[in-house]
Homo-oligomer: A and B are copies of this chain.
Amino acid sequence: MSLVRVHNFSISLDGFGAGEPQTEDTPMGHAGHRLHEWMTATHAWQHTGGSRGVDNLYTQDTDTGIGAEIMGAGKYGYPGWHDDADWTGWWGSNPPFHTPVFVLTHHPRPPLEMDGGTTFHFIDAAPAEALAAAREAAGDADVRIGGGATVIRDFMAAGLIDYLHAVVVPIVLGHGSRLWDGLEGQEADYQIESICSPSGVTHLTFTRRGL
């Protein structure tokens, strides 16, 4: 069975995966770039130069063996994008996914084929149903849950996540979108590892027991 994986999901010390408000100009709200500086500093992100330590290992593992992604409406666009017929996501004509991507939205629209192998599918579906569609599209490969926090939380609460890589960044955001709410006791099903990077972030992995 293919796995359901979360990668590089960065959170503040107080557990927020994004700040607020999210707008077209501020996709991460008041968090700005602070949650992802550890990642954009890596060689895997920069291609020329960049850090080649443990942060890079985690970053380059993001796409390995992934055949489809599921993301929330808030990752695909700013609030209200569904009223904008021309909106095709934040990533330009060649998005970095290169697989089918299932966007969870209450406003489905026809599939959107982009350059480079990415096709966005817009579905209004519960986690298990969305996962079934993504698994079929992924074939033997794994499915990545791309976030945001609410989507990861919903899949985790439904028992559908096999591997969760979260990255704790030492800032206190105070408000935004929380990762851990509603997940009391979920750690019992996972083997957990914490790896502190010299960059200051802590890589936290939850791996389902018995995998």
User: Which positions in A face B, CB cutoff 8 Å?
Assistant: 13-15, 168, 170-175, 178, 180-187, 192-196, 200-202, 204
- Given the interface contacts A13-B15, A15-B15, does A184 sit within 8 Å of B172 by beta carbon? yes
Given contacts A15-B15, A171-B187, A193-B200, 15 further A-B contacts (CB under 8 A): A13-B15, A13-B180, A13-B187, A168-B168, A168-B202, A170-B187, A170-B204, A172-B183, A174-B181, A174-B183, A174-B185, A192-B200, A194-B201, A196-B196, A196-B202
Chain B residue contacts of A195, Cβ below 8 A: 196
Chain B residue contacts of A173, Cβ below 8 A: 184
Docked Cα-Cα span, A183 to B201, in Å, equals 19
B170 touching A194, Cβ below 8 Å: yes
Docked Cα-Cα span, A186 to B174, in Å, equals 10
A175 touching B170, Cβ below 8 Å: no
Nearest CB of B to A103, in Å: 27
B200 touching A194, Cβ below 8 Å: yes
- Given the interface contacts A13-B15, A181-B14, does A172 sit within 8 Å of B194 by beta carbon? no
15 inter-chain pairs at a CB distance below 8 angstroms, sorted by A residue, are: A13-B187, A13-B204, A15-B15, A168-B194, A170-B192, A170-B204, A171-B185, A172-B180, A172-B183, A172-B184, A174-B184, A174-B185, A194-B201, A196-B196, A202-B202
Chain B residue contacts of A185, Cβ below 8 A: 171-172, 174
Docked Cα-Cα span, A65 to B210, in Å, equals 47
B196 touching A172, Cβ below 8 Å: no
Nearest CB of B to A208, in Å: 15
- Given the interface contacts A15-B14, A15-B15, A200-B192, does A174 sit within 8 Å of B182 by beta carbon? yes
Docked Cα-Cα span, A144 to B172, in Å, equals 23
Docked Cα-Cα span, A175 to B178, in Å, equals 13
Chain B residue contacts of A183, Cβ below 8 A: 14, 172, 174
